[in-house]
Structure 1
Amino acid sequence: MSVVLGVLRLPHGRDMRIPIYETEHAAGLDIMAAIPEDKPLNLAPGQRELVSTGLVLEVPAGFEAQVRPRSGLALKHGVTVLNSPGTIDADYRGEVKVLLINLGQVAFEIRRGDRIAQLVVAPVSQVEVVLVETVTDTGRGEGGFGSTGSSA
């Protein structure tokens, strides 16, 4: 079964390609910066910026689109998606924007058409929330944040 993701290009993204999978088995669709050609964005170390993509998505009911970092940007430049993964709900119809942060040591320039993040479309479940008096006991219990150790 194929899942259809509707994509609307906004006026400032009309000349840009729609998101595509770069390889045959890629999980994420690359998305690009739709910023003015003559105004590259200079992301200083520690700076965060909401970057336009020029896209509105029509995510099908029962799915979400997750905005995730690109590993190459993170490794080579320290640039990542701050709220990763960011969720685009099936009922959201605004422009997709990517919250980037530069965790690197030097400024990073973003130009129009640069691939800045990836989208992974995934199924979601909605649950029925019920109030309980107690929770079931497990072997782990309240252990968290490193309680299982760090070596094999």
Structure 2
Amino acid sequence: MDSVIELQDLKTMLQLNTTDQDGLLNLIIKNTTKALRFKLGLNAGKEFPQELDYIVLEVCVRRYNRLKNEGMASYSQEGESITFKSDDFDDFLSESINLRWGAKTDSDLIATLNPGDVVTYDAFSKHDGYVWLRQVRDNGQFGYLASGECDNSDKCISSWDKFE
């Protein structure tokens, strides 16, 4: 997977001068890049558009700053209140999700689903860093859409929408 931003750029934005958190920062960069590539429909072989590098950097900063507060919608203490966005990419991208023929980011695209579109699914699975929902198509075949990210232990770390 190509790294679209430099570790040192992220450390500069976060004002970090040591190497203590480099492993964590590299994981944040990798997962953020992977999520944005998926949202853009960029398969692993496609070059990442340089003009979008800033999105990865800004979202990495947000994800780092939210550590230990994951899953919270808001936080309040002694007059201070912080509200977290449900999707780190909301400021940069539309909320459309790709429906694919297979549960892989390089599977052929069936359609792009927009906010408010209703999808009925019968199963889900976690692999390749994503939570995949399976949709039964009218012809009996299946379509798949990623509903969020999961880590190496298949723990969900983000959700891109509300699914019931």
Shorter chain as normaliser: what TM range? under 0.3
Structure number having the greater strand percentage: 1
TM-score by length of 1: 0.21
Greater relative contact order (CA < 8 Å, ≥ 6 in sequence): 1
Please say which structure displays the higher CA radius of gyration. Answer: 1
Structure number having the greater helix percentage: 2
